Amino acid sequence: MTDQLLDQALVEEATKKSGLVWVRGLPGQEDGASSRALWHVWHDGAVCLVGDGPGEQPLPDLVDGGDAVVTVRSKDKGGRLVSWSAKVVELAPGSEEWDVTVGELKGKRLNAPDGEAMPERWARECRVVRLAPTGSTTALPDGSLAAAPVPTSATTRRAAPAGLPRLLFKKRRR
Alpha helix ranges (H) inside the chain: 2-17, 96-108, 118-125, 164-173
Q: Is 23 helix (H, G, I), strand (E, B) or coil?
A: strand
CATH classification of the domain holding 80: 2.30.110.10
The whole domain housing 78 covers: 2-141
Q: 90 has which bridge partners?
A: 129
Count Cβ neighbours within 10 Å for each residue of 78-106 and write b for 16 or more, e otherwise. Answer: eebbbbbbbebbebeeeeeebeebbeebb
- 171 in any annotated domain: no
Q: Which of 22-26, 30-34, 47-51, 163-167 has the lowest mean pLDDT?
A: 30-34
pLDDT in tens, 8-17: 999 999 999 9
Count Cβ neighbours within 10 Å for each residue of 8-34 and write b for 16 or more, e otherwise. Answer: eeebeebbeebeebbbbbeeeeeeeee
- 47 in any annotated domain: yes
- 31 in any annotated domain: yes
- 122 in any annotated domain: yes
- 170 in any annotated domain: no
* Confidence band, pLDDT 50/70/90 cuts, at residue 79: confident
**107 residue type, one letter:** G
Distance CA 19, CA 156 (A): 32
Q: 70 has which bridge partners?
A: 23, 84
- 40 in any annotated domain: yes
- 172 in any annotated domain: no
How many domains would you assign to the chain? 1
pLDDT in tens, 114-142: 888 999 999 999 999 999 999 888 877 78
- 173 in any annotated domain: no
| Residue 7 backbone phi and psi in degrees, to 5 | -60, -45
> 98, 35, 37, 26: which is closest to 66 by C-alpha?
26
Distance CA 4, CA 2 (A): 5
Distance CA 134, CA 68 (A): 10
* Confidence band, pLDDT 50/70/90 cuts, at residue 45: very high
